[in-house]
Amino acid sequence: MPDMQGLVNELIDKLKKRDGLINGLSFVLVLMLIRWQKGEGITGTALQTAELLRSVISVQKLPPTNKAAALINAVRDVGEKLIAANPVGEPLASFCQLSVGNVIRRVLHIVREEDLSPSSDEAGDNEEEITWLRDNTAPYVAEIIRPPLLHMLHTFSSAEEKSKSYIFGRSRKLKNDVIEAINMLIEDVNICYELIAEQAVEHIHHNETILTLGWSRTVLEFLLAAKDKKRSFHVFVAEGAPRCHGHALTDSAVFAMISRVNMVIVGVHAVTANGGVIAPVGIDMVALAAQKFAVPVVVVAGIHKLCPLYTENPEVSLNDVRSPSELLELGNFSDCMDFGSVDGAPLVHVANPVFDYVPPELVSLVITDIGGHKPSYIYRLIADYYSSQDYVRYGKDALL
Amino acid sequence: MDPRRYSRVIDPKVRQVGFCPRSGQVQNQSGPTGPSTSPPVSHISPSSNSLSPVMIPPPRHPSDAASRAVNVPATATTPLRPRRPSFDDPNNNSSSTEQLVVSSYNPDESVLGTSPPFSGIGDDRDGDAESEFSDNSVNWIRQNDSGRFPLSLAPDGRFDSAAAKEKQSKKPQVGSRKERGGGQTAEVRNDLPSESKPLKEKTSKAERRALQEAQRAVKAAAKAGGNKSKAASLSAHEQTNKAAKLPLQRKDDGPVTSSAAVSERRGGERPPEKDRKKDAPAPRMQFDDKNRVEKAKKRSVVKQTEARNRVELFRHLPQYEHGTQLPDLESKFFQLDPMHPSIYKVGLQYLAGDIRGGNARCVAMLQAFSEAIKDYSTPPEKTLTRDLTAKVNNFVSFLIECRPLSISMGNAIRFLKSRIAKLPITLSEAEAKSSLCSDIERFINEKIVIAEKVIVEHAVTKIQDGDVLLTYGSSAVVEMVILHAHKLGKQFRVVIVDSRPRFEGQALLRKLVKIGVSCTYTHINAVSYIMREVTRVFLGAASVFSNGTVYSRVGTACVAMVAHAFHVPVLVCCEAYKFHERVLLDSICSNELGDPDAISKVPGRMDINSLHDGTNKENLQLLNLMYDATPPDYISMIVTEYGMIPTTSVPVIVREYGREHLLI
């Protein structure tokens, strides 16, 4: 993406005009954007969010009672602001909503769980825990918090430094556990590719023909893992226009080819609670064609892509629309616009959505890092990984 | 009463049978729209032209009876007979009953001929036993009926037609070959009624023979009268038939007439076994057949180099390097002796992709042929028919080398060849040439230009105010439909779905926006996003195969599938000359491959053009399909110049109108 650097700079300029807190969070968003563009995709944003929350928790002052609630409030607060800081209309919008929300919910769930566990109620007693905490969290703080963010966090908890010992004395055990859990979460997200790819040999046999659409790192690793095991197979890659992350087959030829395909493997953006998936645009068409020819549609997705959302018409409410210039070249477009308006209303509309919603009926299998599941089972996984109190939406129209 | 009726049927010779429908016709006028749309079709053709080779086929017979029953309700006869066709073709009968019910003219016995008290039960699907019962219960009035009923049972339906067929296939061999064209049909016409009747009441063999002789004589007289050739007279018959049938065909909906029409023609103009075999489409050239490819290469004018990375699945299709042949061919422009320059020009245009679209290609080819024929002169010691056919074959193989023929072009070539073959020997060269040229002209005019207009007229009726139409790519006919609807002042919006690498929809978008149609433009990937707001899908087609498969620009199947999934009706606009009797199940066995490089290049996206360098890598094959096959279940209706038909009726159109591409 050649223009990405310019985009980032522009974004930073914009951010400078905002107030301190938002500014700090926006900075994190910029980091996310960079990671996104580096090809880490949704996983990158998830990681970034987790790291941010970890640092927030690590410096959070906890009151003597109701520590968990304080932590939850803090995390929520940051989460809301993180979403709010998302400059609407920027390319971030499309991915932040879901992945950031997911991670925030995961962290909230972690806090709740740790709060319930018996050990967390014990009063912290020994000094070494404090030092452990310092040693362990300091690097994260330093890593993430650069001046503006640091500043923001100071405003967050201004009294923090004065009563350091007090905080740590009362809260270290809970915090300790939470941070450890978040570390595990980050670890999970990091290794989800390998975990998913490990299952590839169970699903891909010799001489198989696979169709995929667009580019997905999860799918890539999945296929590479199978290839490493000396399985030889054909892959049809539909290009996923207009973003064209994939290649070698036009999208329109999907229907023609799908009758010769044994399996469709696609990476997705999110898996909703009913087992439907939000995927790059075009996959609904592929899934319909696959259904016609009884070809299984396998979705590979890390656990962090599970979304505890029940929305009606997700294809609209969870979608994002991008610039027409991706579809119509500028010359062509302006030609159309020249004579293309009646009473000021343009005659030409260009629909360039980013995502498709694929209903669960069309999905045969969802492979996550903890194994393969029927779409109808996703709600169960979601119950395992999230707390029902947090099912509210994080997003532009957050209900919190 | 019964015997009397029999004698009435039989007595005035078979000719009278031919007239029987006329009485049915009269009834049709009295009872609104007649018992069904289909039987009248068959009534009319013989009555309008009693000499027509289209005889009264057995399956129609029951409907005769039905119409008679309508006429004389009191005698309501033959409960079983009408049921037979209903069994054969439920659509047919059910629609006919519906119509009758609507007409409210003795709806009860309309089709079944059951007595009024039982009419409640007696819808057309009740069991035979029941109707028998009803029959019996009333048979104190018409005991004769029950007597008649077993008689009618035997000869009706399939059995009869089978017999006819058998007879027919034997007959021509007995009869002189020469008579095949006219004589045979007359014969068949004769013996069909005679075959179907005799089980009912035995006409003597001699009587029948006499009849046949008489009819043959009439036939011959007619042939002599029309001073045209045998073939011409045959086609004239066809034309009159068609003229009679056409209006009816128009207003009906599909299988109803189609099946009736099929049965009507059954045996009639069916060519003998041998001819039929010849008619079956020859298998296409398979490019994985090494021998044939080698042979073809030796003959070829265009030097093709094979693509390096061929897609394994498509080895049976030609996969050549693109863009290499043009300069070579251009340089040879003046050396190619046998090729007419106009043909050469069209070929180059195909090769360069300057002429695209089924109709445009077909018209260009026909016009080039016309030019070539004008400049043609028969070499000494050769006959025009043979030499010209060879010439045309030559041209065609050159055009194939430039780009594989579309189905429509294949059909047009078949038409031209049959015209050449049927040229009367008596014609002088100039006359023959001008007749051919005018034939080509008429083909273009009638099969393409007028057909399009008629299609537009049909399709426009399906557009209402407030509709959101979706179309894919750029189809000439669909464009005309939209323009016409706009001209009529209908308020609608158009969604144009497009796809890489050709972006044909952009041209359409411009045109539509220019005239002020509100448009939404999107890519095929987003079709399921946009389909929610769409109310009609209009698609064009490159060809329609006789199993209902629509062969069209790649991506059409996806659009039709998504529309089907969203319960949006899909209308395919296609001229009937593009119909083909071949069947097709998938998009792989028969397809065309475009330039693979077109896929690897993404204009304006330098960052992802890296693949372009990697095209030669061993593991990567780029596949640029040109067409795909849309299964018939996704298509709600096909709009042709013969009317709006379901996909199941495609074979009927092929059979009735496609065989010789007769001019109307």
Distance CA B364, CA B403 (A): 13
Element (H, E) at B521: strand B518-523
Indicate the pLDDT class of residue B27, thresholds 50, 70 and 90.
very low
Q: What would the mean pLDDT of B335-360 be, rounded to a whole number?
A: 80
| pLDDT tens-digit series, residues B359-377 | 888 999 999 999 888 888 8
More confident: B76 or B281: B281
Distance CA B514, CA A336 (A): 8
pLDDT at B613: 53
Pairing outcome for strands B518-523 and A348-351:
parallel
Residue B244 scores a pLDDT above 50: no
Residue B487 scores a pLDDT above 80: yes
pLDDT at A40: 57
Distance CA B11, CA B214 (A): 15
Q: Look at chain B and count its residues.
A: 664
**Hey, how many other C-beta atoms are within 10 angstroms of the C-beta on B530?**
22
Tokens representing B594? 């475009």
| pLDDT tens-digit series, residues B601-648 | 766 655 555 555 554 566 777 788 889 899 999 999 999 988 899 999
Pairwise CB contact (< 8 Å): B523 & A327: yes
Whether the CB-CB separation of A46 and A102 falls below 8 Å is answered with: yes
Whether the CB-CB separation of B542 and B411 falls below 8 Å is answered with: no
Q: For residue B471, which residues of chain A lie inside 8 Å, CB to CB? A: none
Q: For residue A329, which residues of chain B lie inside 8 Å, CB to CB? A: 603-604
- Is residue B278 packed enough to be buried (19+ CB in 10 Å), middle (13-18) or exposed (0-12)? exposed
Indicate the pLDDT class of residue B253, thresholds 50, 70 and 90.
very low
Residue B537 scores a pLDDT above 80: yes
**How many beta-carbon pairs below 8 A join chains A and B?**
174
Q: For residue A352, which residues of chain B lie inside 8 Å, CB to CB? A: 522-523, 526
Cβ–Cβ contact B629 with A under 8 A: yes
pLDDT at B86: 38
Residue A11 scores a pLDDT above 60: no
Q: What would the mean pLDDT of B394-405 be, rounded to a whole number?
A: 85
Q: What would the mean pLDDT of B191-210 be, rounded to a whole number?
A: 53
Cβ–Cβ contact B507 with A under 8 A: no
More confident: B34 or B525: B525
Pairwise CB contact (< 8 Å): B516 & A347: yes
Which range of B162-166, B340-344, B360-364, B394-398 scores highest in mean pLDDT? It is: B360-364
Please provide residue B121's backbone torsions phi and psi, each rounded to the nearest 5 degrees. Answer: -75, -35
pLDDT at B125: 42
pLDDT at B479: 92
ipTM: 0.76
Q: What angle do CA A73, A75, A79 make, to 5 degrees?
A: 115
Residue of B491, B448, B484, B464 lying closest to B569 (CA atoms): B464
Q: Min CA distance, A26 vs chain B (Å)?
A: 27
Pairwise CB contact (< 8 Å): B522 & A256: no
Please provide residue B74's backbone torsions phi and psi, each rounded to the nearest 5 degrees. Answer: -65, -35
Residue B103 scores a pLDDT above 60: no
| pLDDT tens-digit series, residues A148-197 | 444 444 444 444 444 444 444 445 677 778 888 888 888 888 888 888 88
pLDDT at A200: 86
pLDDT at B630: 93
Indicate the pLDDT class of residue B502, thresholds 50, 70 and 90.
confident
| pLDDT tens-digit series, residues A247-277 | 467 778 888 888 888 999 998 888 888 888 8
Q: Min CA distance, A89 vs chain B (Å)?
A: 20
More confident: A207 or B297: A207
Domain span(s) for CATH 1.20.120.420 in chain B:
323-447
Residue B264 scores a pLDDT above 70: no
pLDDT at B233: 44
Residue B401 scores a pLDDT above 60: yes
Distance CA B455, CA A118 (A): 78
Best A37, A210, A251, A252 residue to mutate vs chain B (most B CBs within 10 Å)? A252
Indicate the pLDDT class of residue B556, thresholds 50, 70 and 90.
very high
Q: Min CA distance, A174 vs chain B (Å)?
A: 46
More confident: B444 or A227: B444
Closest alpha carbon within chain A to B602: A244
Cβ–Cβ contact B533 with A under 8 A: no
Of the candidate ranges A42-56, B182-196, B438-452, the one whose mean pLDDT is the lowest? B182-196
Which range of A285-299, A328-342, B393-407 scores highest in mean pLDDT? It is: A285-299
pLDDT at B611: 53
pTM: 0.66
Best B508, B528, B635 residue to mutate vs chain A (most A CBs within 10 Å)? B528
Residue B14 scores a pLDDT above 50: no
pLDDT at A331: 62
| pLDDT tens-digit series, residues A34-81 | 555 555 566 777 777 777 778 777 777 766 666 777 777 777 777 776
Q: What would the mean pLDDT of B4-28 be, rounded to a whole number?
A: 43
Closest alpha carbon within chain B to A286: B558
Q: Which CATH architecture has domain B462-591+626-660?
A: 3-Layer(aba) Sandwich (3.40)
Q: What would the mean pLDDT of B163-176 be, rounded to a whole number?
A: 45
Q: Min CA distance, A303 vs chain B (Å)?
A: 26
Q: Look at chain A and count its residues.
A: 400
Count the alpha carbons within 13 Å of B306 in the hemisphere toward its beta carbon.
Answer: 15
pLDDT at B158: 43
Tokens 């566990």 — which residue? A117
Indicate the pLDDT class of residue A31, thresholds 50, 70 and 90.
low
Query: Domain B323-447 is in which class?
Result: mainly alpha
Closest alpha carbon within chain B to A343: B516
Q: What angle do CA B540, B546, B551 make, to 5 degrees?
A: 30
Please provide residue A349's backbone torsions phi and psi, each rounded to the nearest 5 degrees. Answer: -120, 145
Compute the Cα dihedral for B432, B436, B442, B447 and give only its sign: positive
Query: Among residues of chain B, what percentage have pLDDT more than 70?
Result: 48
Residue B576 scores a pLDDT above 90: no
Indicate the pLDDT class of residue B147, thresholds 50, 70 and 90.
very low
pLDDT at B661: 53
Domain span(s) for CATH 3.40.50.10470 in chain B:
462-591+626-660
Q: What would the mean pLDDT of B81-92 be, rounded to a whole number?
A: 41
Indicate the pLDDT class of residue B260, thresholds 50, 70 and 90.
very low
Alpha carbon of A229 to those of A205, A218, A222, A225, B618: distances in Å?
10, 17, 11, 7, 20
Reduced to 3 states, what is the DSSP secondary structure of residue A339?
A: helix
pLDDT at B468: 94
Pairwise CB contact (< 8 Å): A329 & B565: no
3-state secondary structure B316-342: CCCCECCCCHHHHHHHCCCCCCCCCHH
Count the alpha carbons within 13 Å of B268 in the hemisphere toward its beta carbon.
Answer: 23
Residue of A396, A91, A258, A285 lying closest to B522 (CA atoms): A285
pLDDT at A30: 62
Sheet (strand B550-553) strand order = B579-580, B543-545, B550-553, B627-630
Of the candidate ranges A103-112, A227-236, B282-291, the one whose mean pLDDT is the lowest? B282-291
Residue B76 scores a pLDDT above 70: no
Pairwise CB contact (< 8 Å): A248 & B621: yes
Query: Among residues of chain B, what percentage have pLDDT more than 90?
Result: 16
Closest alpha carbon within chain A to B562: A285
Q: What is the mean pLDDT of chain A?
A: 71
